[in-house]
Amino acid sequence: NAGVTQTPKFQVLKTGQSMTLQCAQDMNHEYMSWYRQDPGMGLRLIHYSVGAGITDQGEVPNGYNVSRSTTEDFPLRLLSAAPSQTSVYFCASSRSDVLGSRDTQYFGPGTRLTVL
């Protein structure tokens, strides 16, 4: 299994540009999520999905869109990039996360995004 994969690893954008960060997992996990990591702060949840066709907002969703058309893929879209979105982005997945479940989270390698 490849686990959780993310592309690209690095990206530089200009303010106002759009792009999609790709995330895929081959473990048949129902639960997937996107986090951003900024210096001096803990990981913060952007959006998450509990299964194909179901997404919800996390702590910092503004400026980001997601969709989940398949179990495997969970892309994160920046419609109009802003310098405040400069960060490292991590995708993660785990098995079906029924309330109180205790499943391990598997993280992708991260995407380092710079918005000029």
- Residue from 19, 27, 50, 52 in contact with another protein (CB under 8 A): 50
* C-alpha Rg value of the chain to the nearest Å: 13
Give the nearest distance from C-beta 115 to another protein in angstroms: 18
Task: Give φ, ψ of 96 to 5 degrees.
Answer: -45, 125
Cα(113)–Cα(96) distance, rounded to whole angstroms? 29
Cα(32)–Cα(67) distance, rounded to whole angstroms? 11
Interface with another protein includes 104 (CB under 8 A)? yes
Give the nearest distance from C-beta 4 to another protein in angstroms: 10
Interface with another protein includes 14 (CB under 8 A)? no
Cα(56)–Cα(7) distance, rounded to whole angstroms? 22
Interface with another protein includes 87 (CB under 8 A)? no
Name every residue whose Cβ is closer than 8 Å to that of residue 53 and which is 6 or more positions away in sequence: 68, 69
- Residue from 107, 113, 115, 116 in contact with another protein (CB under 8 A): 107
Give the nearest distance from C-beta 96 to another protein in angstroms: 9
**Binding stretches for another protein (CB under 8 A):** 31, 33, 40-45, 47-48, 50, 56, 58, 88, 90, 92, 97-107, 109-110, 112
